[in-house]
Homo-oligomer: A and B are copies of this chain.
Amino acid sequence: MNYLDKTAKLVLYCEGEFGRGKSKTAEGILRYSDNPIVAVIDSTAAGRSTMEMVGIESPVPIVSSLKECLSLTPDALVLGTAKSGGHLPEEWRSDIVAALEQGLDVVSGLHDFLVDDPVINKAARQNNRRLLDVRRPPESLPIASGLARDVKAFTLLTVGSDASIGKMTVTLELCKEAERQGHKAKFIATGQTGIMVAGGEGIAIDRVIGDFMAGACEQMVVDAARDHDMIFVEGQGALAHPGFSGVTLALLHGACPDAMILCHNASRIGIGDCADFPLQRLARTIEAYEMMASLVHPSKVIGIALNTSKVDDAEAKRQIQDCERETNLPCNDAVRYGCQNLVEAILAFKEGSLCKQA
């Protein structure tokens, strides 16, 4: 994709929805994007800090409107929230058009593509600006045939006990830590925010047509394996999520990971934080992933990444200890306490599996 270059200055559009569990994309970009970020737009949070709203330390101001941050000369407006289903809310259109008229490109991770909206498309053309729909998959994708089983690189997939639990974040942290330790590591983005963080590279698997989801993932792993020794694939959804489980399994069978890190939030009461779908015990969740993996390429869950963002430090540490005791696996909150122990476990497992191959 002909994406933004790394010096492009971003404004994150989160009108009415910054924080409150609805601005996953904006938060991911705040935390991980290489691009400079000049402001967050949310009139309901203007003047407050990113730390206060989403727990991320940053100097980025929250403003009421695009107008208020034009003096900071932004280059692109990034839609930083995604309604369930990924449709374009009517009320966003005028703000998007205004941004195009002010000379900004617009980046979107919605299921509905901006280029397909006649009003927005026209405004982009009139102002000679770009609409970057990062969720648009490539035109031609293969049907997976298990090719990722045979790559030389060690492949790790993050999986989850639920959706929206921090798999992208954990994957990025693991990859960074592996790079720090001298590995040629590659992050493979499989969702819209991951693609934005990865400079436009990756495929949003949940936007791919069913038959080609696993093939899209397989293709990315096979390509990345050519010049990397460790591949970290961002997981999606959860095997127990009634809406997204198909995407999750396609990723598992497309990527053929050698190992998995299970992402979990011990504070959730159920799938989608909904009591109607109680979370499985961790042992059963692990068993489900390992069994499904074994049907194509055996893999093991070798660590747990806990998301403790909802609890205080003492409770977080207790959750981590409980989880280690329950699963007998290394556990950590990668954002709060780092993920060195998880990467150590991954590297030890990698060495072990290479020895087995030799």
Contact = CB atoms under 8 A, between A and B. Distances in A.
A164 to B, nearest CB: 13
A260 to B, nearest CB: 16
Contacts of A280: 295
A243 B143 contact: yes
Contact of A242 (B85, B86, B253): B253
Given A288-B291, A288-B292, A295-B288, A243 B144 contact: yes
A277 B296 contact: yes
Contact of A250 (B86, B205, B210): B210
A84 B142 CA distance: 10
A76 to B, nearest CB: 25
A208 interface: yes
Contacts of A42: none
A123 B254 CA distance: 39
A202 interface: no
Contacts of A146: 242, 276-277
A297 to B, nearest CB: 8
Interface in A68-110: 84-86
Interface in A140-167: 142-146
Contacts of A288: 291-292, 295
A274 to B, nearest CB: 8
A206 B212 CA distance: 8
A239 B276 contact: no
Interface in A207-246: 207-211, 213-215, 218, 239-246
Interface in A279-304: 280, 287-288, 291-292, 295-296
Contacts of A10: none
Contacts of A251: 246
Contact of A211 (B142, B211, B247): B247
B211 A210 contact: no
Contacts of A256: 242
A249 interface: yes
A209 B211 contact: no
A239 B292 contact: yes
A145 B247 contact: no
A130 interface: no
A215 B86 CA distance: 14
A111 interface: yes
Contacts of A277: 146, 296
28 contacts: A85-B143, A85-B211, A144-B243, A145-B242, A145-B243, A145-B272, A146-B276, A206-B210, A206-B211, A207-B211, A209-B209, A210-B210, A210-B250, A211-B243, A211-B244, A214-B243, A218-B242, A240-B296, A241-B253, A245-B249, A246-B248, A246-B253, A247-B250, A249-B249, A287-B291, A288-B291, A291-B291, A292-B292
Interface of A: 84-86, 111, 142-146, 205-211, 213-215, 218, 239-251, 253-254, 256, 272, 276-277, 280, 287-288, 291-292, 295-296
